[in-house]
Chains A and B, each alone.
Chain A
Amino acid sequence: MIRAISKNALALGVVAVLCVAILSLVHIQTEPRIEQQRQASKIAILSEVLPSVEANQALLQDCIQVTDQALLGRSSPQALYRWRKDGQLAAYLIETTAPDGYSGNIDLIVAVTPEGTILGTRILNHQETPGLGDKIEARRSPWIFSFNDKTVTDNNASKWAVRKDGGDFDQFTGATITPRAVINAVRKATLFIQQHPELATQPANCPKQ
């Protein structure tokens, strides 16, 4: 009895060790490639919101963590990249979240100049209704480009709304909540940049990705 049990236990142990060995091998083999893919997809997104700029490793490294639940929508830290042109700070690329989407959070990235002009924005992640709310994606509708070159100033807050609410942005047929949430998130992210001029000089502190 004891003999059978210990024999079985040993066999199970051997199989487990074998499986772990195979997994470790595959993990070590694929790790650099996965890392490379992750960085490439990040860089691809960053260069999409920064028109006519070749995003690179340096941009990915010049990153600080910021937290502001009221303006950036999350209680956890989010990344902010600083793009410098000829040593001069030219734009911030800030990750932000619209907490008031139609179904859950909408994560976006916004490229904005220190003065508050939007250079570009893209949706990173969302669960909006396919066919209605997903027109915020660049590949489904050009709507997201209507943010380009818009400016946030002290007295144009009323323009940052869908047309139905008297603003400058189109709503979608059958989906008003989604664009409303995105417009608010982009505006608040820009406000965050304008309210924190010290962001330009903080040392980079993102954990190594």
Chain B
Amino acid sequence: MSQFKELAIQGLWKNNPGLVQLLGLCPLLAVTATITNALGLGAATLLVLLGSNVAVSMVRNHVASEIRIPVFVLIIASLVTVVQLLMNAYTFGLYQSLGIFIPLIVTNCAIIGRAEAFASKNAVLPSAIDAIMMGLGFMLVLTVLGAAREILGQGTLFDGADLLLGSWAKVLRIELFSVDSHFLLAMLPPGAFLGMGLIIALKNTIDSKLKQKEAVAKGSIARARVTGAAQ
């Protein structure tokens, strides 16, 4: 049980693929203009990650280490194509609005990174859990960034959710405020960079606060300023 807890903490917080490993930044920055797109791409990435981790973990003892990278790439590329075909068939509107970023999941280093760093060395179940946690961590960052940009940019939440979930989801759309001219910076790519930077800064602040608290609880002296050790 403690291993699962550790995996969850690693994927969602300590080693979050979006915030700490900074992998997959291209889709992360490009599609987060609305929360719907963010959730759609997050779910697709999670699915591919889960499939690839399970498959890689299953073949890990049968594949010689010289050819493991091409095998991983083959597995990941096939999975992405499968997800692409399924999205094209069942969520056509979302498929069109995500466009090129679905096939680009292949190049998301978070996926081959987990295959190489975790799944190739662990059994199927922990690999699957690692994939789910890492995928959720990535999805979480996408969603937070998407929500922030959508609120700031056009004052709505879940705009176009029907593309992802079917026409009933039109009721999910929340109009927080309506403005004549949108806040362009939030909707264009520079806004994504700024938002991403702020989220990383927030995470680092929380981490350092936690560390300080821990140090105080342990009874060690919390120094106001720590100078480097003398050479």
Contacts and interface: CB of A to CB of B under 8 A. Distances in A.
B154 interface: yes
Interface string B60-96: 0011101100110011011001100110111011001
Lowest 10 A-B CB distances belong to which pairs? A131-B182, A19-B78, A30-B89, A37-B92, A33-B89, A130-B187, A30-B85, A8-B67, A34-B89, A26-B82
Contacts of A158: none
B50 to A, nearest CB: 16
Contacts of A4: 64
Contacts of A16: 74
Nearest to B82: A26
A16 B73 CA distance: 10
A100 B100 CA distance: 24
Contacts of B88: 30, 34, 37
A136 to B, nearest CB: 15
A41 interface: yes
A131 B187 CA distance: 8
Given A12-B67, A34-B89, A130-B153, 8 more contacts: A4-B64, A7-B64, A15-B75, A19-B78, A22-B78, A34-B92, A37-B89, A131-B154
Contacts of A41: 92-93, 96
B33 interface: yes
Interface in A113-146: 129-132
A8 B64 contact: yes
A131 B154 CA distance: 8
A27 B59 CA distance: 24
Contact of A173 (B92, B181, B187): B181
Contacts of A19: 74-75, 77-78
B154 to A, nearest CB: 7
Contacts of B66: 8
Interface string A1-31: 0001001100110011001001100110010
Contacts of B82: 22-23, 26
Interface residues of B, number: 32
A130 B181 CA distance: 10
Nearest to A129: B184
Given A11-B63, A11-B64, A37-B92, A131 B181 contact: yes
B109 interface: no
Interface string B165-209: 000000000000000111110011000000000000000000000
A87 interface: no
B184 A132 contact: yes
Nearest to A36: B89
A209 to B, nearest CB: 15
Given A15-B71, A173-B181, A131 B89 contact: no
Contacts of A40: 92
A8 B222 CA distance: 56
A19 B89 CA distance: 20
A207 interface: no
A30 B70 CA distance: 27
Contacts of B75: 15, 19
A173 B180 contact: yes
Contacts of B92: 34, 37-38, 40-41
A174 interface: yes
Nearest to A174: B181
Interface in A133-175: 173-174
Contacts of A23: 78, 81-82
Interface in B117-143: none
Most buried by B among A15, A23, A26, A30: A15
Given A12-B67, A173-B181, A33 B90 contact: yes
Most buried by B among A7, A131, A132: A131
A8 B68 CA distance: 10
Nearest to A35: B89
21 contacts: A7-B64, A15-B59, A19-B74, A19-B75, A22-B78, A26-B82, A26-B86, A30-B88, A33-B90, A34-B88, A34-B89, A37-B88, A38-B92, A130-B184, A130-B187, A131-B153, A131-B181, A131-B183, A132-B182, A132-B184, A173-B181
